[in-house]
Each structure stands twice: as C-alpha cells, then as structure tokens.
Structure 1
Amino acid sequence: MSDDADSLFEFPCAFPLKIMGAASDALVQAVLEVVLRQAPDFDVATMEVRSSSAGNYLSLTCTINATSRAQLDTLYRELSSHPLVKIVL
C-alpha cells in the first residue's frame, strides 16, 4: 500500500498553494526558492501575486503539479517555517 492510499487526492494533480506574508520582493523570492526546490517543474510565470487593500501584505498563489502527499507536506513545512511567511493554505 502506498503512502497516498489514505489521501483525498489522486496524484499527480494540480494543487494550488496560497502563501501570505508582509509585502516585499524578498517574500516572493523566498517562496519561489522553496516551491522550485520541491516542485522543479513549477512554471514561475503562473504565480499569482495579489496585494492587500492597504498594500501591507501579499497573497501568492502557486499551482504546482503535486506528485505525492510527502511533497505537499514538505512544501507546507518549509513555507510555514519561513520567517517572511505568515500563513500557508
């Protein structure tokens, strides 16, 4: 039985990650580094960047080609522990 047997997802699948943090170019760069390390086939041009109404925060959406539950767990762990990232959904 594979690790993905109890997962609600069938891999591979398109999986959107929403990452929020204080508005800065450093946040965008840090998120890209983590995402590309774990999902090297991620197309950087597809990343969506939205600014909060006051411009203090950024919301980044990266839709990756998820290949396993372990990959998603690692991404969430790395992104959540980054000092520039406030929330990962």
Structure 2
Amino acid sequence: MSDQEKTSEAEGMTYPCRFRVRAMGLDEDDFDALVVEIIRRHCPDIHEGAVSIRPSKNGKYISVSVDIEARSREHLDAIYDDLTAHDRVLMRL
C-alpha cells in the first residue's frame, strides 16, 4: 500500500472523489458567482448542475454548494484556504 493510499484511508476518503464544497455569506451582489469563481481556480471543469444555492430563512445570508472532483486532501485544503481568505465568505463547510 502506498503512502498516499494510507493517507486517504486514514482520512476516511479515497481520492479522487466527488465532494461538495459549501460557502456562506451575505445574500448581496454576486456572492454565488464569487464562490464559483474561487472554486473554479482549482476545478476548471465544474459541470452544469454542480452549483446549488440556498437562501437563509430570513434572506440575509446565502449558502452556495458546488460539487467537485477532489483530487487529494491538499487540493481540498487549497480550495478552502482561498475561500477562507476572501472577506465576503463568512463560513465554509
């Protein structure tokens, strides 16, 4: 078993795999487009239907989910780092 396979098993995931990245922010301007643009830097082949948007109960916030093909834990970490670095992203899951 390779070191990469051991790492994948230890994390509970086997790469590559389908993964849903979610970011939340204020429901204003083009937050959904911003999230997709950040994720697309790492996953240029986001397919149609991969993005879903859900407003909060009171409409102040929005959750944007994007289904991607995660290549590795490092790949996911890079996506989450970029999302976290943006001041309009309040939370990422």
Runs of 5+ unmatched residues, structure 2: none
Q: Report what 2:68 is aligned to.
A: 64
Change (3 A) 1:4 1:80: farther
Q: Secondary structure at the match of 1:48?
A: strand
% of aligned pairs identical? Answer: 30
Q: Report what 2:28 is aligned to.
A: 24
Alignment RMSD? 1.7
Distance between the aligned counterparts of 2:19 and 2:29, measured in 1? Answer: 24
Q: Report what 1:13 is aligned to.
A: 17
Q: Deviations over 1:35-83 (max 9, x none)?
A: 1110111125320101111111001111111111111000011001111
Higher Cα radius of gyration: 2
1:2 pairs with 2:4: yes
- Matched residue count: 89
